[in-house]
Amino acid sequence: MNCITLKELPSPPPDKTGWPWTEVSDQLPHDMPDGIPWPKISIVTPSLNQGQFIEETIRSVLLQGYPNLEYIIIDGGSTDGSVSIIRKYEKWITYWVSEPDRGQSHALNKGFSKSTGDIINWLNADDFYLKGGLQAIGKIFQKCPGHMIVASGIDFEEKTKNEVVVFPIRISVENIIKFWEGWYDWLQPSIFFPKSAFLEVGALDETLHFAMDTDLYCRLMQSLPLLYIDTPISKFRRHAWAKTSSQYNDMMLEHIRVSFRYKKILGEPEAKNYDNQALLFLLRRTKHLLIKKRVRQFIKYLHYSLSISILKFFLTLLTAFFHKVRMPI
């Protein structure tokens, strides 16, 4: 894909200005200084009924000014006008389809199977890249191929318009596994990885609907070195309709389940005490859900806690009661 200019794309809605509506990234030359093409970047956008956001997402990819870009959209059969927006830009999209799928992980694997990039990532249809973001990724990957690139990003609240820059200084398998300590200081749209490594670790687990990124990163980080970029390259949008907000408790439970897959990485003696520490966190969440009268989620958390170990569950419960142990929710 050649660099796309603002004049080539359809005109934005009259009330939209700024990036990526009326502004474009500076364009890189077609080849690197040594005459070799820039590393190919493949971006996959999974989408389902995100018509209010998807045009901004699409334009933020197409207007990156990056000369070796592949853009793929996998729509799950939207009925809200998303498809008409995608069609408006299909001339510049490498591949797209709109058909029912088995969830986000399945859609992403479908998209990545069509990709041919050296380095890949996905961009959800309610997030978007910042001006020049992919140029920063391409330049770093050209110097350091074979790395997992972890860039900064902006955590954006749609309702309040509040923005927080997230500097990903703590992403590691160990911090993801020890979920009770808090490891949400990285943003998925800003994390890129070689496609070859993605295939080697087995792609995304299609049984996961929330924690597919966490699970993938735990596998990738066991073999790939990490390289950090302080410059924010993406905006992660929080809004009431996002599944990370509307299904927060189910999301957390899936993240917890994924973390147990990798607890052996901690080594002794931490792995030995892992269940006890995790159960303290689960007890706090279970109590919180009971107080909030979230019965369905309460039963799920209680069932999972007991499945770890009935004996450890009750011993942890007694310990927490007599010693008034407090753990963050």
Give the lowest-confidence range in 153-157, 217-221, 239-243: 239-243
Task: Please report the pLDDT score of residue 248 as a whole number.
Answer: 83
Q: Which residue has the tokens 């909030």?
A: 292
pTM for this one?
0.91
Higher pLDDT, 58 or 268: 58
Rounded Cα gap, residues 101 and 204, in angstroms: 14
DSSP-derived 3-state class of residue 308: helix
Note the pLDDT of residue 179: 81
Confidence at residue 113, expressed as pLDDT on a 0 to 100 scale: 98
User: Could you read off the pLDDT of 213-239 as tens digits, one per residue?
Assistant: 999 999 999 999 999 999 999 999 987
Position 324 scores a pLDDT of: 53
Q: Position 185: which residue type?
A: D
- Could you tell me the domains of the chain? 41-245 (3.90.550.10), 267-323 (no CATH)
CB 68 within 8 A of CB 38: yes
pLDDT tens readout for residues 94-113? 999 999 999 999 999 999 99
pLDDT of amino acid 124 = 97
pLDDT value for 170: 76
Tell me what pLDDT residue 285 has. Answer: 86
Q: Of 36-40, 101-105, 322-326, where does mean pLDDT reach its minimum?
A: 322-326
Q: How far apart, in whole angstroms, are the C-alpha atoms of residue 316 and residue 258?
A: 21
Q: What are phi and psi of 124, to 5 degrees?
A: -65, 155
- pLDDT higher than 70, residue 328: no
In angstroms, the CA 115 to CA 40 distance is 10
Q: What is the mean pLDDT of the chain?
A: 91
Cβ neighbours around 33 below 10 Å, total: 6
Tens-digit pLDDT profile for residues 67-77: 999 999 999 99
Phi-psi region of 86 (alpha: psi -120 to 50; beta: other; left: phi over 0): alpha
Q: Is the pLDDT of residue 316 over 90?
A: no
Going by pLDDT thresholds of 50, 70 and 90, the confidence category of residue 244 is low
CA atoms within 13 A on the CB side of 107: 26
Question: What pLDDT does residue 249 have?
Answer: 87
CA distance 296 to 299: 5
The fraction of the chain above a pLDDT of 90, given in percent, is 67
Question: 284: which residues sit within 8 A by CB, 6+ positions away?
Answer: 326, 327, 328, 329
